[in-house]
Structure 1
Amino acid sequence: MAGKTTSQVPAEGLASLELTHGMQVLPSHSKPWWKTPHLLSLNCLIGFLLLYSSTVGYDISLMNGLQSLDQWQVFMNHPTGAWLGFINALQSLGSMVFQPVGAWSANRLGRRRTILIGYFWLALGVGLQVGAPDPKMFIASRMFIGIAGAWFQAAVILVTEIAYPSHRSLVTSVYMCLYYAGSLLSAWIAFGTRNIEGSWAWRIPSLMQIALPLLALPGTLLIPESPRWLIGQKRNEEARKILTRFHAGGDENSQLVVFEMDEITQSLTFERSIQNESRWIDCVKTSGNRYRFFLSVSLGIFAQWNGCGVVSYYLTMILDTIGITSVTEQTLINGFLQLWNLIMSCVGASLVDRAGRRALFLASTIIMLTSYIMITALSGSFTTAGTAALGTAVVPFLFIYYAGYDLAFTPLVVAYPAEIWTFSLRAKGVAISSMANYGALLFNQFINPIAFETIAWKYYFVFLIMLLIILGTIYQWYPETHGYSLEEIAVIFDGESARVTDVVGSKAELEEEQLGNIEHAEKVLG
């Protein structure tokens, strides 16, 4: 089984080539995945799940757009400083507080049911926000929308656990890219409603928060439960049928399905030999889990403390400090920035398997650091000289900064934690990373508006220091996970005792097989 030749490689491209035993049993497809019915069906259903990250993206961009609308400012009595930070932070607070509950639900009720529960909180939040008669109800609504995000987090876990082996890295990386589909929609709706008289200028953008989750609902109802979760519940036959249908196209004798069932079962058996049930304390009980914990928490914090929190939630303030104060100009820049983010994050997702996680993290941080230096210098020069050209020159560097951020931190902020944790702790591991992310975001949302009012552009120096710390930490501690199946990644953290494959080839043998893979794929691809 595991000793099968690795010349059987899907024809989608060289990005699907990996040095794992799981990849050795992949059936040879003469057609690309979009012409292979069972893979097309699976990836279309996964495509619906990818839309759930759009909820958070829509909300963050929504607050930028609303702050540019005079109609919303009048309704909210022109919030500033800590009060504005509190309004922005409530969504993050709701999501952070309910992450443990969402993780419990994903393990106990299943990944799919947990997603569907999120609709209750989303409908409640959007309904209160659109119908808000006063600022208090608007503010309360943001808490419920944040709670919905905690339940929707199960979507990326389901995507990770049901994806076709050679597609997993790409689809999990694309998950957070769709975050910008939400922010793009929000930015342009706010731009389109800016001239509407009265409160519907901001009520329409608020109502559209539910659009993309509604679009995702049909696929959520049709997609099956995670095979790994089913095996964990001792519902092996149901899991086998799902893997046979979506991974093997109905071939009941597929070696891939035999291998996956065996690998998942052995992995769960190994996990249960260490711990009878999944507990939060288990996340730091072993050295391997403490390493995972460190990576998950640091990535969640780094994703917010690299300066993106300033740009994402307070773009309006940034533009004000460089002399761009027109509502039309601000909403237009925000709209194009979200489109740029969507494009560049998809580029980053496409490079995850080609370049590797570690290389993308390093390149991303270096680009952000370089552009932030220029943003700081130009903003300071504009404040001193008052030359309009200096202020305008900041805008392209904002785009360059986000190009760097999107290469790694957008596609991998959820995908990386989802793949490094073992099955029994995956939901908790993703929740830990998300709580760290929201905790860092909460800090930013309270402190950023106060800092901007106090020291303006000089606040950028804080993030220059943080980017240097992030760069050093990634270089020293972040391991490469490219080339491993979801179960085999455990070997990186827990050592050879965690290996569940039955044949382990030497490094020379693996390199020889990989060379054969490349030659075969080049012939297939022409």
Structure 2
Amino acid sequence: MGKGYNAAFASNPYIVGSFACIGGGLFGLDISSMSGVLNNDYYLAQYNYPTSDAQGAITAAMPAGSFVGALIVSQLADRIGRKNAVIISGFIWVIGAILQCASVNRGMLVAGRVIGGLSVGIASTVVPVYQSEVTAPAIRGRLVSLQQWAITWGILLQYFVQFGCSYIDGVASFRIPWGLQMIPGIILSLGMMWFPESPRWLMDHGHDEKALEVLADLHGGGDSKNELVVLEFEEIRQQVIFERTEGAKSYLDLFKPGMPRRVMLGMALQMWSQLSGMNVMMYYIIYVFEGAGLTGRRANLIADSVQYVLNVVFTIPAIIYIDRWGRRPMLIAGTFCMSLFLFLVGGLQGGYGGWADLDGSRTWIIQDNESVRNAVIVMSYFFVCSFAITMGPVSWTYPAELFPLKVRAKAVSMATATNWLFNFALAYAVPPGFEHIAYKTYFIFATFNAAACVHIFFMYPETVGRSLEEVEEIFKQGHVFTAWKIGRDVGKKTVEEVVQKSQAMDPNHQVEHRESISDTEKA
């Protein structure tokens, strides 16, 4: 424990890179904690049968808090470290869960969701940054994409807790699941105390020896002269020296030459991930299946649970192959397929549905047509699978790879804040949308996905397999509107090239390394 963290854990990059993903799980817990109670009679009675506008406001309270959390975390992560920011997010989550569980009216519930959202905003921003800074380039995409898998697990587990508790009479049917949300937050905060700080943050704050020690433990089996360790240490060192010559860090750095393009790419990708309609399918899946003609509380809950299981299962191939398939192909294929399936859902709803009264509410619904109902449900499943295997994991991985150390926390916070801003807007607007324009809601999101596909094809370069410092070379190539011309070898460097550049920057600094670089290039 003299290292300040547990060396046995720190020697395994998969454990270090994946444990922080519990922070992503908090987001998933919140999604299904709300979707699972929308047709709970005890919930509706406790909060005075919220209208579509009121329910939209309750749901949107969490992303509103997350938007604020995503903005404040940049200063927090730069000052106290990535690890400590994650720890703080867990404790804030516990406070929010307590307030939600004990809430007796809408105001108290909204307050608890805002505080919980503050935690999710912090965690969803800093966890991908932490993961990208502690993992080697060859496995970075795989580990950062675990953030999305954790979200899907959070959705799934909380939903089944909700499903089980739905058989309980009284307010305990929704208070118990809300109270159990405290457990992951406690595990996250206490567990992170055993893990190392980001080596890039350590070096940026003058702890070079500590940074080298962490890199050696994570990527070299404790050997500080391992080729990959030498390469990473020198690249980080070069970046830190260069950035220190440019002055103090501030949000103004995001507007310096070369940065606005990257900031906009990160923000736009998080925007497209929300405008894809996926979180609409998660938050309001009960409304979606009711519109398809699937009535009955138990039947709806079972159909919903299938969707959540598919979300978990189809994220697994993305985790395994994201560093082989690349970011661009996954994003292009995913947005195309999501657009197609949403157009099909909207077309089926528009062609076979009509306005009807459902439990006292005017609802667009497909009646007495089992084959069309099943087709809508299946297309919804296909849509979820398309997101899970493509946009879901890449939307967290790609922004964390785009930026230099100097502005990484701030730039990623801007991207994540964009995610929560659009999440808030959609969470609030979708219930009235289903109420007033019904099936046309699907056409809106389908069009967004089509636009995203075009945008990604022309403007998003591939970043797979490069160190965070090598990504700098990509954006020095130009190709603003011709991203497909940037090959996977652009920006790649050998140990020899990195060491020569490092010694040119500081002739007094000598680096020992082996002659062979084949292992590094393979890594």
Q: Same fold (TM over 0.5)?
A: yes
Q: 1:86 aligns with which of 37, 46, 57?
A: 57
What root-mean-square deviation, in Å, do the aligned CA atoms of Structure 1 and Structure 2 show?
Answer: 2.4
Partner of 2:483: none
Mapped to 2, the partners of 1:485 and 1:368 lie a distance apart of 31
Instruction: Show the counterpart of 1:427.
Output: 409
- TM-score when normalising by structure 1: 0.85
Aligned residue identity for 1:183: I
Q: CA deviation at 1:503?
A: 5.0
Q: Distance in 1 between matches of 2:493 and 2:78?
A: 22
Q: In structure 1, what is the equivalent of residue 271 of structure 2?
A: 301
| Residue matched to 1:270 | 242
- Distance in 2, Cα, partners of 1:165 & 1:481: 10
In the alignment, is the contact (CA less than 8 A) between 1:266 and 1:500 conserved in 2?
no
Tell me what 1:160 maps to. Answer: 132
Which residue of 1 is the match for residue 458 of structure 2?
476
Per the alignment, in what secondary structure is the counterpart of residue 439 of structure 2? helix
- Of stretches 245-254 and 228-237 in structure 1, the one that deviates more from structure 2 is 245-254
Match of residue 342 from structure 2: 372
Show the 5 A alignment for 1:301-450: 301-384=271-354, 386=367, 387-450=369-432
Correspondence 1:226 to 2:208: no
Q: 1:112 aligns with which of 77, 83, 94?
A: 83
Map of 1:17 onto structure 2: none
Structure 2 contact 65–118 (Cα < 8 Å) conserved: yes
Gapped regions of structure 1 (runs ≥ 5): 1-36, 506-515, 522-526
- Runs of 4 or more, structure 1, over 6 Å off, are 37-40, 496-502
Q: 1:183 aligns with which of 155, 173, 178?
A: 155
- Aligned-partner residue type, residue 214 of structure 2: I
1:276-330 CA-partner distances (Å, limit 9, x unpaired): 12211211221x2111111111111101111223312211111121111211122
Q: In 2, distance between residues paired with 1:406 and 1:499? A: 30
- Return 233-242 or 210-219, whichever deviates more: 210-219
Give 1:418 shift. 0.5
CA distance in 2 between counterparts of 1:176 and 1:213 reads 17
**1:314-361 deviations in Å (ceiling 9; x for gaps):** 111111211112111222222221111111112122221111100000
Quick one: which amino acid aligns to residue 451 of structure 2? I
Post-superposition CA distance 1:254-284 (Å, at most 9, x none) = 23322222110001222233x3122112112
Task: Choose which of 475, 478, 484 in structure 2 pairs with 1:493.
Answer: 475
Residue 509 of structure 1: aligned partner = none
Aligned to 1:258: 230
Deviation readout 1:25-53 (Å, 9 max, x if unpaired): xxxxxxxxxxxx88863322332112210
Q: State the partner residue of 2:113.
A: 142
Residue 100 of structure 1 is matched in structure 2 by: 71
Letter in 1 for 2:103: A
1:131-170 CA-to-partner distances (Å, cap 9, x unmatched) read 1122221121000000111222322211111113422121
Q: 1:452 aligns with which of 431, 434, 440?
A: 434
Report the residue type matching 2:418 in the other structure. A
Q: Secondary structure at the residue paired with 1:66?
A: coil
Q: Which moved more, 1:322-331 or 1:122-131?
A: 322-331
Question: Does residue 76 of the first structure (1) align with residue 58 of the second (2)?
Answer: no
Report the equivalent of 2:504. none
Shift of 1:81: 2.0
User: d(CA) in 2 for partners of 1:171 and 1:368?
Assistant: 24
Deviation of 1:487 (Å)? 1.0
Task: Say how many residue pairs are matched.
Answer: 473
Which structure features the higher share of helix residues? 1
Aligned to 1:43: 14
Report matched runs for 1:503-518 at 5 Å: none
The structure-2 alpha-carbon separation of the partners of 1:467 and 1:42, relative to structure 1 and needing over 3 Å to count, comes to closer
- Asked if 2 retains the 8 angstrom alpha-carbon contact of 1:381 and 1:390, the reply is no
Shifted more, 40-49 versus 170-179: the winner is 40-49
Distance of 1:351 and 1:42 partners within structure 2: 18
| Cα deviation digits, residues 457-487 of structure 1 (max 9, x gap) | 1221212221221111011111111131111
Q: Distance in 2 between matches of 1:340 and 1:164?
A: 29
Which shows bigger deviation, 379-388 or 59-68?
A: 379-388
State the alpha-carbon separation in 2 of the partners of residues 413 and 190 from structure 1: 28
**In the alignment, residue 338 of structure 1 is paired with which amino acid?**
Y
- Contact 1:490–1:499 (CA under 8 A) maintained in structure 2: no
State the Cα deviation string for residues 99-141 of structure 1 (Å, max 9, x = none): 2211111001101111111133212111111111222211210
Tell me, yes or no, if the aligned pair for 2:216 and 2:222 is still in contact at 8 Å.
yes
Task: Give the partner amino acid of 2:348.
Answer: L
Deviation of the 1:439 alpha carbon:
1.1
Q: Corresponding residue for 1:61?
A: 32
Change (3 A) 1:321 1:201: same
Q: CA deviation at 1:206?
A: 0.6
Compare 218-227 and 386-395 and name the one that shifted more. 386-395
| Residue equivalent to 2:104 | 133
Query: Residues 224 and 230 of structure 2 are in contact (CA less than 8 Å); yes or no, is this contact kept in structure 1?
Result: no
Amino acid at match of 2:205: Q
Measured in 2, the distance between the counterparts of 1:197 and 1:230 equals 52
- Secondary structure of residue in 2 paired with 1:116: helix
